Structure 1
Amino acid sequence: MPRTVLVTYGSTYGSTAELARTIGDVLREEGLLVEVRSAGLIRDLAPYGAVVLGGALYAGRWQRDARRFARRHRVALARLPLWLFSSGPLDASAAQRNLPPPPSVRRLVRRLGARGHMTFGGRLDERAEGRLARMIVKSGTGGDFRDVDAVSAWAEDVARELLPLTAPPG
């Protein structure tokens, strides 16, 4: 039986969770078994044959649940096919060019041996809670900068690499 691909994420306001669900949907459409779950809920990676881990970016750092997941599961993640994604720029920069990960995420890519990383635009709107988030939205710099087509294209590339790795032996 093929191993399941875990798509997991750290998301505070739901935008990164939505990107993770999009990635999961694309991987399923490409024929993979997929489970999409919040990083804070995962205790064991034994059931999974590969991982796609994403984190919302706040001041250049991943959201807490994504950071904790990467730290808690670092040994297992280093042994699995792994891709990382970040969500966060509140402008069109991620849609215009391939943005490098911030230093903290770049270290994760290297330490965990991730096969790839992509940064996608983020979303911050009036539904966001918290004083700082409300200030950003009120200043006019919030909005939805996610590019679903770019997310889907990246997920298709990941699926092409994953399909031969998750096929049952023999």
Structure 2
Amino acid sequence: MPASVLVAYGTKNGSTARIAEAVADVLRKEGVTAETAPAATVSDVTPYGAVVIGGALYAGHWHRDARRLLRRHRRDLAERPLWLFSSGPLDASASERDIPPVPGVRRALTRLDARGHVTFGGCLEEGAKGRMARMIVRSGKGGDFRDFPAIEAWAARIADELLKERKPT
């Protein structure tokens, strides 16, 4: 099992950060050392034995900080267990069915041999940053669509996989 897991995220309004915190909390509860960090602040992934990266979705693209983290550290990320998540649909669709990754994330999954990807519902509420986000909220299409039991179950599967790797066969 890796010594420590980094859960990094790219977010504009904090919703993806809260998902990352929930993932790290579950990892810790399961006995895995984990820490969270905004993707823009990560300068080195080599201290971590595994990495989880999440990015908010905007107009069909992953948050730029998450994309940049993947690009800057692609060689080191390819050498360790890696999982990716997206957050963003402002409806119940992510809880109802598997939503495939956007094209850039799909390419990263393949190139970096990531172990998995999941899309979680997003959250856009009053006070959101950005003109478009405020328009969405004013139109009544905002809300909190994050499914924390699903997020926690996904994180528990990651912890289980990492803990199994630690046990001698």
Alignment TM-score > 0.5, same fold: yes
Identify the TM-score tier after normalising by the shorter chain.
over 0.9
Matched, 1:69 2:73: no
Corresponding residue for residue 57 of structure 1: 57
Give secondary structure in 1 for the equivalent of 2:50: strand
> Are the counterparts in 2 of residues 2 and 168 from structure 1 also a CA contact under 8 Å?
no
Corresponding residue for residue 37 of structure 1: 37
Q: Write out per-residue CA displacement over residues 24-68 of structure 1, whole angstroms, 9 at most, x where no aligned residue.
A: 000000000111111111101121000000000001111111011
Corresponding residue for residue 7 of structure 1: 7
Corresponding residue for residue 101 of structure 1: 101
Task: Please tell me the residue identity of whatever aligns with 1:58.
Answer: Y
Partners of 1:23 and 1:91 in 2: CA distance: 21
Matches within 5 A, 1:114-153: 114-153=114-153
Report how many residues are paired: 168
Q: Write out per-residue CA displacement over residues 92-130 of structure 1, whole angstroms, 9 at most, x where no aligned residue.
A: 000001111111211111111100000000001112011
Partners of 1:130 and 1:115 in 2: CA distance: 33
Q: Which runs of 5 or more residues in structure 1 are unaligned? A: none
Matched, 1:17 2:13: no
After TM superposition, give the deviation of residue 164 of structure 1 in Å: 3.2
Root-mean-square deviation (Å):
1.5
Give secondary structure in 1 for the equivalent of 2:49: strand
> Are the counterparts in 2 of residues 26 and 152 from structure 1 also a CA contact under 8 Å?
yes
Percent of aligned positions that are identical: 62
Partners of 1:108 and 1:46 in 2: CA distance: 18
What TM-score, normalized by structure 1, do the two folds share?
Answer: 0.95
Aligned structure 1 segments of 4 or more residues deviating by more than 4 angstroms: none
Q: Which runs of 5 or more residues in structure 2 are unaligned? A: none
Partners of 2:2 and 2:41 in 1: CA distance: 23
After TM superposition, give the deviation of residue 163 of structure 1 in Å: 1.3
> Are the counterparts in 1 of residues 55 and 63 from structure 2 also a CA contact under 8 Å?
yes
Q: Write out per-residue CA displacement over residues 70-97 of structure 1, whole angstroms, 9 at most, x where no aligned residue.
A: 1000010111100000000000000001
> Are the counterparts in 2 of residues 60 and 104 from structure 1 also a CA contact under 8 Å?
no
What TM-score, normalized by structure 2, do the two folds share?
Answer: 0.95
